[in-house]
């Protein structure tokens, strides 16, 4: 299995630069360079290994070979079917089904998406470990972004912090929302007597959610939801806060008569790819359990 690599053809504007300066401009930090130097990586220019004091020439071909990443001994590969909707050398997008944890937890120590990813990487002979960019709750279905290496994870996380990783969710909530659209700006904190539940509280972290009504029925509403921030349980708590908890979300006041999970689906994912330098957008359809509720509501 090969290690993760990055390659550049040096242009005129970088002629005369120190290799160290060029790599730092491409977000390879001093600590990453130390890791490369002492843990099995290397920097190759025109087929020859070089150190960071090399002076670049126009036309040089630079390849960085990152050290092999060590997998956690507690994370075991498992043959779990994955719906991969996009993949390149730096990331992949997975359409996660409901009831599949993103990573192992105390309640679900195995059988997670992360376990399935390790098995997939092994089948593809890719010597990789798991770097989740945007995690989804176990009950939430839909698209999530996975980086293939800690370097690309760092770049995608920077894009996420800038708000350049945009997610659109579909939720089915209790009651009829009268407004066609709205914004919920309510800070979120961990509830004092719970390690799981969150609450809206003045001393919480800033949390903003935009929503738009797609369909109204007698006792429920289908909404498109766009979180600006990414707090734990943000959409679930915010919709409950305005009096419209998600169907199936018993933690925040929802009822389970029609669905045995919170009715939330990550339908679209848009982001700027910081290595390939292009914008990508992927959309996936609603899962059958949510489609069934909407279909029955229309009858």
Q: Which residues are catalytic?
A: 137
Q: Is 189 exposed, middle or buried (0-12, 13-18, 19+ CB in 10 A)?
A: middle
111: closest CA among 96, 101, 122? 101
Query: Which run of H or E residues covers position 115?
Result: helix 113-123
Can you tell me the distance from the alpha carbon of 175 to that of 119, in angstroms, rounded to the nearest whole number? 43
36: closest CA among 5, 1, 73? 5
Can you tell me the distance from the alpha carbon of 96 to that of 79, in angstroms, rounded to the nearest whole number? 15
Phi, psi of 134 (to 5 degrees): -125, 110
Are 134 and 107 a contacting pair, CB within 8 Å? Answer: no
User: Is the sign of the CA dihedral 261, 163, 231, 211 positive or negative?
Assistant: negative
227: which 2 tokens? 């979180």
Query: Which run of H or E residues covers position 169?
Result: strand 165-174
268: helix, strand or coil: strand
């Amino acid at each position: 299995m090969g290690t993760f690599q990055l390659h550049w053809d040096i242009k005129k504007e970088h002629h005369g630069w120190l290799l160290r300066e060029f790599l730092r401009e491409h977000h390879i930090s001093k600590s990453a360079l130390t890791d490369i130097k002492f843990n099995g990586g290397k920097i190759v220019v025109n087929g020859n290994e070089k150190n960071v004091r090399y002076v670049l020439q126009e036309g040089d071909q630079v390849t960085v070979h990152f050290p092999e990443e060590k997998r956690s001994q507690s994370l075991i590969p498992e043959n779990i079917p994955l719906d991969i909707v996009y993949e390149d050398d730096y990331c992949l997008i997975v359409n996660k089904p409901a009831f599949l944890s993103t990573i192992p937890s105390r309640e679900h120590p195995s059988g997670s998406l992360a376990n399935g990813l390790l098995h997939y990487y092994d089948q593809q002979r890719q010597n990789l470990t798991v770097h989740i960019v945007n995690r989804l709750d176990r009950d939430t279905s839909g698209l999530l972004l996975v980086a293939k290496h800690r370097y690309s994870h760092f770049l995608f996380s920077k894009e996420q912090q800038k708000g350049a990783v945009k997610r659109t969710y579909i939720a089915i909530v209790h009651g009829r929302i009268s407004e066609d659209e709205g914004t919920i700006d309510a800070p979120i904190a961990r509830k004092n007597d719970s390690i799981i539940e969150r609450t809206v509280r003045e001393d919480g972290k800033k949390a903003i959610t935009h929503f738009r009504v797609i369909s109204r029925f007698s006792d429920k509403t289908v909404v498109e939801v766009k979180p600006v921030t990414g707090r734990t349980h943000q959409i679930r708590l915010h919709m409950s806060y305005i009096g419209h908890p998600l169907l199936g979300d018993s933690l925040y006041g929802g009822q389970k008569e029609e669905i045995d999970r919170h009715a939330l689906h990550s339908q679209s994912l848009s982001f700027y790819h910081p290595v390939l330098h292009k914008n990508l957008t992927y959309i996936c359809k609603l899962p059958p359990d949510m489609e069934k509720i909407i279909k029955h509501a229309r009858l």
